[in-house]
Amino acid sequence: MSVRLPAASARRGLHPAAWWLWAGCMAGAATRTTNPILLALIASVAAFVVAAKRTSAPWSRSLVVFFRLGIVVIVLRVVIQIIFGNRLPGHVLFTLPEIPLPSWAQGVSIGGPVTVEAVVQAAVQGLRLAVVLICFGAANSLASPYRLLRCLPAVLYEAGVAVTVSLAFAPEVVMAIAGVRDARRLRGRPIRGLAGLRGMAIPVLESALDRSLQLASSMDARGYGRRVAVAQRTRWMGTGGTAAGLLLVIVGVYGALDAGSLPAGGIPFLAAGAVLVGAGMAAGGRRTNRTRYRPDVWRIAEWAVGASGVAALSGMIVAGVLGVPGLQLQVYPLEFPPLPLLPAAGILIGLLPALVAPMDRSASGTRTTAPPPTADERQAPGAPAPAPATPAPAPARPDAAQPPAPVALRVAFEPGEGTVA
Amino acid sequence: MIRFTDVTFTYAEADEPTLRGIDLDIEEGELCVVVGQTGSGKTTLLRAVNGLVPHFTGGRLSGDVRVDGRSTREYPPRELADVVGVVGQNPAASFVTDIVEDELAYTMENLGIAPAVMRRRVEDTLDLLGLHELRSRPLSTLSGGQQQRVAIGAVLTAAPRVLVLDEPTSALDPAAAEEVLASLTRLVHDLGMTVVLAEHRLERVIPFADRMVLVPGRGGPLIVGATADVMATSPVAPPIVELARLAGWSPVPLSVRDARRLADPLRRRLATVAAPAPAPTPVPALRPVAVAERLSVSFGEVAALDAVDLEVRPGEVVAVMGRNGSGKSTLLAHLAGLRRPTKGTVRVFGRAPTDLPPRRLIKLVGLVPQDAGMLLYGETVADECATADHETGLSPGTTAAMLESVLPGMPMGHHPGDLSEGQRLALALAIVLAPAPPLVLLDEPTRGLDYPSKHRLVELLRKMAANGDCIVVATHDVELAAQVATRAVVLAEGEVVSDGVARDVVCHSPVFAPQVAKVLAPDPWLTVEEVRRALAGAVP
């Protein structure tokens, strides 16, 4: 099967939501197994796709951090099991001195015999959590957080801006710290030790505060927070509907991940929640008349990436329903786990993005030409049709005050053109 | 288009109004330049146009400001965003998004402009301001000039009818500044956009201005009129106007071309007197104070400096010039010991500046960075001066006295954050210069300074050079370089492309030549002062 990619999609890389869908499905698949071979397979697939498709953007390096975090999680899980965990019977490795606990603390133990079975089980549970983390790390490395936030529906726009600003804030603080260090050195003040730290904290905070004030004034001057008057009821529907819907979705997701806790795997909750959220967001979105500049488009590549993730997850779910052996690691008797073929095949489909996802070249800045706007670019509700291209301005008058202009001015702006009344 | 009716504005906790009884009408399609001395209230006036004063700053505003018929009383700044575009003094602080292209679209998204229109306007603006190669670059990686152009582009895309700019060219090199100003003129002439801008470097903007508003400061009445009329009497005047006053030209010429047409008699008269004296060459026997040898610096794959050799000897004033991002600031940071060179060496008084403890270092090298406010963290100006005296072991009052000589009449009780850009710079200068370091490095020292302050700075630098101190100035300000520099070094892409006597270097460059040199070419006169002295000598 060959997938031909549309040219416009190659411009700005894959839709960030597609990456998150794929990664979410891979993580979902990981939660449904404790077979270390399958878990390792999922982690490798995620790492391979990241290696193939990451950009030079700063967040692209974050997968390594998540791998390290995963190792910490496994070690922590094993250590906790050794000290506090359930005393499973089996082959004793060593025995820790036991601390007797009062009767009300039953089920918790400190110390005691540590068996191979208990350690293996803890390590595998830790590995499962680590793999989930790695999947999210993969999405983090592949999708620009800014672009993901741009996809938020209008009702969540303000929350999105807050997150965007704070995302930009972190490098800002790093730069502020460097600046304050320089400034202290230039004034002959200590930059190391306790005195240095104290002297630096306040200026850094002060410059951060300054920066937020300037940013707020700039955003205000640039039309942030313009509102359309809407009825009180619509406003309530927007906020209330979204909140209730999100709650239902959370319940649904819980059901879907923890098989058996809710009827039909929580799917009805998920569906009802989605409908409510959709309605709430539509109602809330009426309060602003923002438009989107070059919204990310969902094309065949996005479908393919999303579907590959869904395939990996469904392979796992179907195997679970059919009772395919080897999905969960057996510790009694402790033996090398088998490789169940159906889920493994599903996971390998998750490699598809490495082949079909377009590279995001935007971060390297090598592109010089831009394709014309795509046809799917959504028209703002109620906006007039785009004005026909204005004719090029008449040649400049031979005016004494006018200097030779080194810049070519091709098209005139017309005030008010295209604005929503 | 913009109408101020009896506007009086007082900042909260201020005793006196910053603006008093202002009446001002700015017509559609006018390019209006607001001038005034440092701290006179130019920025306040500009920010009142879209209601940031007082909606955002607080304080009391009486009277009425109307833009396109909408009063800032009833419309907060965000509701005026489709009519007024504002570009502040520090463009980097105004960025909301992370990528150039998205930043350009941000205002349009808020205004609800149709996607197809947005797309076209972004493409046009990218071309208009020469930003197309930067379109997908993260904003944090841009140079100062590029950021300024993005900030202008970001408000231009909303197609406002009024554009308000606070010192739009102060951070730009001469060529980039001309590019920005030329695009602004085009917007005014071809599209009838109304542009109001404040600028200290009048030599750059007056050829483009239709009208001038002089803010006298301390709440005095505005002086409004045609550029030439205001310029004839203005206390702040660019070299070309001073030359016109000296030569008695009327009306005052505003561009080099107009001046050259009038300058023929003056040129002939000057030909009879002695040619401008060559700058005193420093005695080569003196040991250089600062030496950079094969200094190379790279950030990732980008070379900021490439095998730069530089020697600075006592009594020299070296002007380091070059495009935005050509490595000037990097060179200064290395001479001051803020960074370690990637390759090559830097020696100041025979030692690597990075190895000296900060307290010793500031007695030898003083650097005033581009963002001078960085150095200031005291509660008040007086407090800042006292701390500086205490830390450097100077007798109390030294820094305050130095401040008085740089910029007299500073409000000693103000918080440094409440000072104007120029006042902050003066304070930072005073703090750095007070311990009298023999090597002084200044990064863009005239940003936001008015002409009188600039004159005082020039006097101060000359006095220091006469005492045998070395001064290295990284600057875009060709007039400053013409006035103080004995040597000019031009950097391009991290390499030294010319290094020589300042007069030769600047006179032969179309970009770096000061106005007087352009008017009086081919004779190498650099400043009005030289001409004045020569004429005084010629007429007995």
**Residue of A291, A366, A376 best to disrupt the B interface, most CBs of B under 10 A:** A291
Establish if A289 touches chain B: CB-CB under 8 angstroms.
yes
Do A217 and B179 make contact, defined as CB atoms within 8 angstroms?
no
Looking at chain B, which residue has its C-alpha nearest residue A360? B136
| CB-nearest partner of B105 from A293, A396, A397 | A293
Chain B residues lying within 8 Å of A390, measured CB to CB: none
Determine whether the interchain pair B190/A183 forms a contact, defined as Cβ–Cβ distance below 8 Å. Answer: no
The torsion angles phi and psi of B10, rounded to 5 degrees, stand at -125, 125
Residue among A377, A407, A420 minimizing CB distance to B179: A407
What is the pLDDT averaged over residues B281-296? 79
- DSSP calls for A32-66: T---HHHHHHHHHHHHHHHHHH--SSGGGGHHHHH
Tens-place pLDDT, residues A122-132: 999 999 999 99
Q: Give the model confidence (pLDDT) of A162-180 as tens digits.
A: 777 777 676 677 777 888 8
Strand B290-299 with B223-226, pairing: unpaired
Nearest CB among A187, A211, A222 relative to B391 is that of A187
Q: Is the per-residue pLDDT at B26 higher than 90?
A: yes
Listed by number, the residues of chain A in 13-72 with a beta carbon closer than 8 Å to a beta carbon of chain B are 57
Closest Cβ–Cβ partner in A179, A384, A412 for B374 = A179
Q: Assign A120 a pLDDT band (cuts: 50, 70, 90).
A: very high
With CB atoms and an 8 Å threshold, state whether B115 touches A180: no
CATH number (3.40.50.300, 3.10.450.50, 3.20.20.140, 3.30.70.1400) of B2-237 reads: 3.40.50.300
What residue has token string 């590019």?
B179
In angstroms, the CA A292 to CA A380 distance is 8
Q: Which of residues 98-137 of A touch B (CB under 8 A)?
A: none
Residue B197, min C-alpha distance to chain A (Å): 16
Under an 8 A CB cutoff, do B78 and A161 touch?
no
Contact B137, A365 (CB under 8 A): yes
Q: Is the ipTM here above 0.90?
A: no
Q: Which of residues 163-222 of A touch B (CB under 8 A)?
A: 164-165, 167-168, 171, 175, 179-180, 182-191, 202-203, 206, 210-211, 214-222
Contact residues, chain A, for B55 at CB < 8 Å: 220
How far apart CA B425 and CA B475 sit, in angstroms, is: 14
Nearest to A217 among B52, B120, B124 (CB): B52
Provide, as residue numbers in chain B, all residues whose Cβ is less than 8 Å from the Cβ of A211: 93
CA separation for the pair B3, B27 (Å, rounded): 9
Say how many Å lie between the first and final Cα of chain A, rounded: 49
Chain A hits for B191, Cβ within 8 Å: 393, 412-413
Is B102 in contact with A293 (Cβ distance < 8 A)?
A: yes
DSSP, collapsed to helix, strand or coil, labels residue B198 as strand
Tokens of B518: 């352009």
- CB of A235 within 8 Å of any CB in chain B? no
pLDDT surpasses 70 at B147:
yes
d(CA A75, CA A251): 30
Structure tokens at B262: 């009038």
| Per-residue tokens: B472 | 């290295």
Angstroms from B253 CA to nearest CA on chain A: 11
Taking only residues 255 to 274 of chain A, the set having a beta carbon closer than 8 angstroms to any beta carbon of chain B reads: none
Nearest to A185 among B130, B185, B358 (CB): B358
Q: Where is average pLDDT lowest: A26-40, A249-263, A319-333, B501-515?
A: A249-263
**If pLDDT is split at 50, 70 and 90, which confidence band does B173 have?**
confident
Q: Which of A386, A399, A400 sits opposite B117 (nearest CB)?
A: A386
DSSP annotation of B401 reads H
Sheet holding B470-474, edge to edge: B365-368, B439-443, B470-474, B317-322, B487-492, B495-501
User: Is A164 in contact with B122 (Cβ distance < 8 A)?
Assistant: no
Do the chains contact at A406 and B97, CB–CB below 8 Å?
no
Domain segments of chain B as ranges: 2-237, 238-272+515-540, 290-509
A49's torsion region: left (phi>0), alpha (psi -120 to 50) or beta? alpha
Higher pLDDT, B374 or B253: B253
Tell me the chain B residues in contact with residue A378 when contact means C-beta distances shorter than 8 Å.
115
* Cβ of residue A402 closer than 8 Å to a chain B Cβ: yes
Q: Do domains B2-237 and B290-509 have the same CATH topology?
A: yes
Contacting residues of B for A406, CB less than 8 Å apart? 178-179, 182
Mean pLDDT to the nearest integer, A51-77: 87
Across the A/B interface, how many CB contacts are shorter than 8 Å? 273
Nearest CA to B523 out of B538, B502, B508 is that of B508
- Which pLDDT band, with edges at 50, 70 and 90, does A394 fall under? very low
Residues of B in contact with A291 (CB under 8 A): 108-109, 112-115, 118
Give yes or no for a contact between A26 and A45, defined as CB atoms under 8 angstroms apart.
Answer: yes
How many angstroms separate the CA of residue B183 from the nearest CA in chain A? 7
pLDDT over threshold 50, residue B265: yes
Give the pLDDT confidence score for residue A376 in this predicted structure.
35
A229 touches chain B (CB under 8 A): no
Backbone region of residue A239 per phi and psi (left: phi > 0; alpha: psi in -120 to 50; beta: other values): alpha
pTM (predicted TM-score): 0.73
Q: What is the pLDDT of residue A8?
A: 39
Check A294 against B132: CB less than 8 A apart: no
Shortest CB distance from A407 goes to which of B56, B93, B128?
B128
Half-sphere exposure at residue A42, Cβ-oriented, CA atoms within 13 angstroms: 36
Would you state the pLDDT for residue A12?
A: 67
pLDDT in tens, B436-484: 899 999 998 887 788 888 888 898 899 888 888 899 999 988 889 988 9
Cβ separation of A409 and B190 shorter than 8 Å?
A: yes
Nearest to B182 among A363, A365, A407 (CB): A407
Which residue among B156, B185, B392 places its CB closest to the CB of A403? Answer: B185
Do B153 and B162 contact (CB within 8 A), yes or no? no
Say which CATH architecture domain B290-509 belongs to: 3-Layer(aba) Sandwich (3.40)
Average pLDDT of A267-290? Answer: 80
Token pair, residue B512, equals: 């770096």
Concatenating the DSSP letter of every residue in B106-156 gives HHHHHHT--HHHHHHHHHHHHHHTT-GGGTTSBGGGS-HHHHHHHHHHHHH
Which residue(s) pair with B310 in the sheet? B292
Cα distance between residue B437 and residue B388, in whole Å: 14
Q: Point out the residue among A210, A386, A396 whose CB comes nearest to the CB of B114.
A: A386
> Would you report the helix, strand and coil content of chain B in percent, each value rounded to 5?
40, 20, 35
Tell me if A292 and B255 make a contact (CB, 8 A cut-off): no
At A116, list the tokens: 């191979």
Q: Which of A202, A373, A416 lies nearest to residue B116, judging by beta carbons?
A: A373
Distances (CA, A) of A363 to A48, A366, B98: 20, 8, 11
Predicted local distance difference test score (pLDDT) of residue B133: 87
Q: Indicate if the pLDDT at residue B140 is higher than 80.
A: no
pLDDT at B507: 85
Contact A406 B121 (CB under 8 A): no
* Omega prior to A384 cis, within 30 of 0: no
Whether residue A391 is predicted with pLDDT greater than 50 in this model: the reply is no
pLDDT, residue B37, reads 82
CA–CA distance, B256 with A404 (Å, rounded to integer): 13
**Residues on chain A touching B77 (C-beta within 8 angstroms):** 217, 220-221
Round the average pLDDT of chain A to a whole number and report it. Answer: 76
Tell me how far apart the alpha carbons of residues B293 and B341 are, in angstroms, rounded to a whole number. Answer: 10
When mean pLDDT is compared across A45-49, A403-407, B55-59, B275-279, the lowest value belongs to A403-407
Hey, of A293, A366, A374, A419, which one would you mutate to test binding to chain B, going by the most B CBs within 10 A of its CB? A293
Q: Mind telling me how many Å the CA of B22 is from chain A's nearest CA?
A: 23
Q: Which of A186, A212, A378 has the highest number of chain B CBs within 10 A, making it the mutation to test binding with B?
A: A186
Asked whether the beta carbons of residue B82 and residue A171 sit closer than 8 angstroms, the reply is: no
How far apart CA B329 and CA B305 sit, in angstroms, is: 10
Q: Is the pLDDT of residue A371 over 80?
A: no
Residues on chain A touching B50 (C-beta within 8 angstroms): 221
